Amino acid sequence: MNAAVPTVFTATCDLAAQFRGRAVPASREEALLRGGTGWVPADLAITCFGPIADNVFGSTGDLRLMPDPATRVDIPADGDIPGTRLYLADQTLPDGTPWQCCPRRFLASAVEEFGAELGVTVIAAFEHEFTLAGIPSVPSFSFEKYRSAEPFGTDLVTLLEQAGFAPETWLPEYGDAQYEITLSPVEARVAADRAVLLRELVRDLARRRGLRACFAPLPNLEGSGNGVHIHLSFYDADGNPALHDPSRPGGLSELGTGFSAGILRHAPALTAVTAASPVSFLRLTPHRWSAGGAFLAERNREAMLRICPGTGPDAGARLNLEYRAADATANPWLALGVLLRAGLEGIRRGYPEPVVWPESATESDLVVVPPLPKTQEEALNELERDEVVGGFLAPDLLHTYLSVKRAELNTLAGLDDAERCRRMADVH
């Protein structure tokens, strides 16, 4: 047994965006990798507040958490706190075959279908914002604010580099005690895996540094919100960028425009998965630089889909689409999976090309764009009504997802918005 890593924790990310699993002694790691560890179908229905929501599984059934060796991350010992090793797992049936309700498998199948049909590789990156309780109030984006998070900031970058996550930027953000960490773009499934693990690495390190990291979409009703921006780009079989066409509006290729059409057509239902909490929609409003409506635009941070331009001689390779109506209450595997499937539907069905709003578009120009749902309840109803998006999910997965989210809503029923934000901040 490795004394520096005495235990191994294998886990999944559930519908409440919680990292749940089981630990074994390091001496049993080989057995874990061969056969996994036991899990229960009804665990999928645990809400972010703890109770199990109504579900179709009940007390019956068995699953295995099968760790993926490629996801291994070591957290080194830190003073009196021992190190540990993490693995992400697929949820499988006892014989090892896929379970139709596994969120990680949902993304894998979406990526496989997308690539097989369109002949492209999906590259993605998740940008996470979070707040650190215990940091003094100092000017936004300042060097002082950057240094106020030390040694946490440097320790985080070092930890992520050691894990092979290739951090790109670590920066002090606009909001009070708010920071952002970005990772380099990678293959879609790896990007989502890293998004799951990143949140836990940040929280764990913050605890060890006497801080508390919060990824809630709106920790304080009057403050700035925390988003998760999902960046997407596609490459063809020859390694050429497939999103860029300088002859088209916004420089976005026909493939990219068709993909965008699918997301915008199904935007209300998609937000039920990507903005997955009772307070998420308090952030998704105009003038918050989050997503003020379901539209596609150049360099506009109020757009649900933003065309991010490339720079330099390889500008085409750098152009990407940024989906902005997401936060860390969403399961990254489900969020990315539904975006890919909705975009593919836009291409398959030939949805009308959306307007590419220029950077010069004014607020009065944009008054015609469709609004996003105003509440989570509205978004969940849209998910239930939208047969296309609802059809992406296996029936038991869709039922359980709706049940979990409505149970979370009911837990906060009767509270004012400020208290709802506080309760969600306690969880995330």
Question: pLDDT band at 289, cuts 50/70/90?
Answer: confident
The whole-number pLDDT of residue 312 equals 66
Average pLDDT on 4-10 reads 90
DSSP structure class, residue 13: E
Domain housing 158: 106-427
Per-residue pLDDT of 150-190, as tens digits, reads 999 999 999 999 999 999 999 999 989 999 999 999 999 99
Does residue 45 form part of some domain?
no
Indicate if the alpha-carbon torsion angle 223, 13, 333, 235 is positive or negative.
Answer: positive
Residue 116 reports pLDDT greater than 60: yes
Q: Is residue 391 part of a domain?
A: yes
Task: Give the pLDDT band of residue 1 (cuts 50, 70, 90).
Answer: very low
CATH for 255: 3.30.590.10
> What is the pLDDT averaged over residues 256-282?
97
Instruction: Give the model's confidence band at 14: pLDDT under 50 very low, under 70 low, under 90 confident, else very high.
Output: very high
Comparing CA positions, the residue from 272, 269, 321 lying closest to residue 298 is 321
Q: What are the structure tokens assigned to 150, written together?
A: 């030390």
Residues 96-106: what's their mean pLDDT? Answer: 97
Q: Going by DSSP bridges, is the β-strand pair 293-298/303-308 parallel, antiparallel, or unpaired? A: parallel
Decide if pLDDT at 311 tops 70: no
Distance of CA 6 to the CA centre of its chain: 30
- Return the number of other C-beta atoms located less than 10 Å from residue 308's C-beta: 16
Q: Is residue 25 assigned to a domain?
A: no
Whether 99 maps to a domain, the answer reads no
Residue 373 has pLDDT above 50, yes or no: yes
* Mean local confidence (pLDDT), 10-35: 97
Rg, the chain, Cα only: 21
Residue 30 lies in a domain: no
pTM, two decimal places: 0.95
Nearest residue to 373 (alpha-carbon basis) of 386, 387, 392? 386
285 falls within a domain: yes
Is 43 a domain residue? no
Number of domains in the chain: 1
What span, in angstroms and rounded, lies between the C-alpha atoms of 71 and 78?
22
Per-residue pLDDT tens over the stretch 314-355: 767 789 999 999 999 999 999 999 999 999 999 999 999 999
52 in a structural domain: no
